[in-house]
Amino acid sequence: MTAITGVSTRVFRVPFERLIGDANDPIGRDTTMQMVVKLHTDDGLTGMAIGHPTSRSVVHSFAELLVGEDPAGVKSLWQRMVDRAFKGGTEGIVKEAICHLDVALWDLKAKANEEPLWKALGASSPHVRAYASGIDSPLTDSEIDAFYRGMAARGITLGKLKVGRDREGDLRRLDIMREALASRGKEPELTIDSNEYWTAKEAIDRIREIERHHRLTWVEEPARRWDVAGLRKVSEAVTSAVATGENLNGVPEFLPLIQGGAVDIVQVGQYTTGITGALRVAELASAYELPVATMNCPGDFMAHIGPVLDDHLGVEVVWGGMGRLVNNHQVVEDGWITLPDLPGLGLTLRDDIDELEIHELPPSSATSTPGRRRRNSWSEYSQARTTEANR
């Protein structure tokens, strides 16, 4: 039996290779804060997870529940952590802490079995489809073209563009993405993501206009994540499939949307209460015969769940700069990710990351994302003034 002895965490400021932003953060960010979580064992194995640093203190607190336990019982340990969170729920930094520890447990479980995670999860194949996502609102037209042409060179034909703020700009940028993805002679598939920026009524108007010019595979978060009536209204009014789930925590939050006919494509990621939580939501989606798409994460380790899902549309590939922090041994060719045979997640930390480490979290790290930006609000006005002053 392998027994967990403790947890350690390190926080890094990682530079992006390009600006990253969406409708709520159109100016974009050039750096991100990432925390590396390591679960240690009595036989020298280490399980690793990477994600938001905001939950650092909660990670250390919840890890006490795992000390002395065998990571082979990861699902039971996940349930123990979820039960611990009962009163406050699996929300915010508590959810993030459970996610990090659950991922590290799965990494340990697979390493103890000396097999890659995809095999530990029961998959017979290491292959999973990839789709390109630039998180590209701050990018110029030429930068968008370069990003999606680079993805097309790897055979990727499905691309996701950030939209929401500019009607004419959205159409122009979709044209650019489509042409770039078609540069290798394959028919592209287009998706858009407005990150909850629209109301349901606005979403219907904007999506219908886009659909007059482009066929969309899905529209992501066209209305607020919990708005069952609004998302259903959008789904019924447009041709495209409605995708959502990136910011939902688990089965209890997905169930009303699925039962209410408000989601056509279920999206899961590491923050769907970890790998265990994501798999539970995927099983729920399968029961309703709904396809699943997987969100991005550092090192794309969530790709490991793809081969075991019943109807998996693809893994979001961003490649914004996490290669500065981790060595990703996955190979992307002909539009597919080939997962490595390395034990566990197949990720290792780079040798030269010490210079990125920080020992005190800045105030800006109190939230994991910049937040929602409402139009015609003080935040919008303040941002415009700040941008002008910095020129």
- Mean pLDDT value across the chain: 94
- pLDDT above 90 covers a percentage of the chain that reads 90
pTM value is 0.94
Confidence band for 390, pLDDT divided at 50, 70 and 90: very low
User: pLDDT, tens digit, for every residue of 254-299?
Assistant: 999 999 999 999 999 999 999 999 999 999 999 999 999 999 999 9
Sign of CA dihedral 265, 269, 272, 277: positive
Task: Report the amino acid identity of residue 21.
Answer: G
Nearest to 270 by CA among 49, 115, 3: 49
What is the bridge-based pairing of β-strands 265-268 and 347-349? unpaired
| Fold that domain 118-349 belongs to in CATH | TIM Barrel (3.20.20)
Level-2 CATH architecture, domain 4-114? 2-Layer Sandwich (3.30)
What is the bridge-based pairing of β-strands 265-268 and 292-294? parallel
Q: State the residue for tokens 């914004």.
A: 320
Q: What angle do CA 191, 197, 201 make, to 5 degrees?
A: 90
Do 4-114 and 118-349 fold alike per CATH?
no
Q: What angle do CA 216, 217, 220 make, to 5 degrees?
A: 90
User: pLDDT, tens digit, for every residue of 73-101?
Assistant: 999 999 999 999 988 888 899 999 999 99
Secondary structure (3-state) at 205: helix
The pLDDT assigned to 391 comes to: 46
Sketch the domain layout of the chain as residue ranges.
4-114, 118-349
Q: What are phi and psi of 11, to 5 degrees?
A: -115, 140
CA 37 to chain centre: 18
**Taking the CB of residue 365, how many other CB atoms lie within 10 A of it?**
18
Which two tokens mark 180? 């770039």
The pLDDT assigned to 1 comes to: 82
Secondary structure (3-state) at 132: strand
CA gap 343, 111 in Å, rounded: 5
Distances (CA, A) of 220 to 113, 135, 158, 196, 375: 37, 13, 14, 8, 19
What is the bridge-based pairing of β-strands 29-41 and 46-51? antiparallel
The pLDDT assigned to 90 comes to: 87
User: pLDDT, tens digit, for every residue of 195-243?
Assistant: 999 999 999 999 999 999 999 999 999 999 999 999 999 999 999 999 9
The pLDDT assigned to 361 comes to: 81
Nearest to 251 by CA among 297, 288, 289, 283: 283
